[in-house]
Each structure stands twice: as structure tokens, then as C-alpha cells.
Amino acid sequence: MIYIVFDIAKENHYASIADSNGQIIHEAFLVKNSIHGFNFFMDKLKEYNIPISDCLVGMESTGHYGENLIQFFHNKGFHIGIINPIQTDALRNSNIRKTKTEKLILT
């Protein structure tokens, strides 16, 4: 399985590609929020000979900013996972111990 992770924003997204062993295939790179940017991403994927059927695309739900990208990937046949940002924030906060400095600031 190949994991493709998108950080969604208004005009520019960032994508990273990794395999199921955690090996980075491609570090984060800019993908414009346009058909030209999406096709640029597809060209990047072709460079690594990665079949669409082996990919899982993940991104946080960001309202309308990611809708065009989601539709593009859906039409291409990608598996897509949309993550609730409230859940990822809670998970991140539950697994991090606070340092002494952070405790002093919070109290």
C-alpha cells in the first residue's frame, strides 16, 4: 500500500508519499489547487510507477478547500480517507506529555 497525505489549504496543497513500511517515497511538495496542480501530482506519481489501485489518499476535512481534489481523485479511482480534524487534534494532544515549561505556562 502507498500512502499519499495531503495538507489542504485555499490555494496550495502539500502532498507526501510513503509506503506501508514508513519509507518516504517523496518528501512534501507543493500541489496547486487547480487542474494543472492535480495533473502535476499525477505526473509525479507516474515517475514512481505507482498504480492507483495501490494508493490510499488521506487528508483532513477542510470544508470546500479540498472538494475539487477529492472529486479529482474519486474520478481517477483512488481510495480516499477523509479525517475529522477534531479527532486528529484530540489524538495528538492525548499522546504528548507536557514538558515542565508547558506545565508552568498552563497553570
Count, residues in the chain: 107
CATH number of 2-106: 3.30.420.40
Average pLDDT over residues 25-29: 95
Burial class of 8 by CB neighbour count within 10 A (0 to 12, 13 to 18, 19+): buried
Mean local confidence (pLDDT), 24-51: 94
What's the pLDDT tens digit per position in 71-93?
999 999 999 988 876 666 666 66
In this predicted structure, which of 39-43, 62-66, 91-95, 96-100 has the lowest mean pLDDT? Answer: 96-100
Per residue in 2-24, pLDDT tens?
999 999 989 999 999 999 999 99
* Mean pLDDT in residue range 45-68: 89
Backbone angles phi, psi at 6, to 5 degrees: -115, 135
Total-model pTM = 0.76
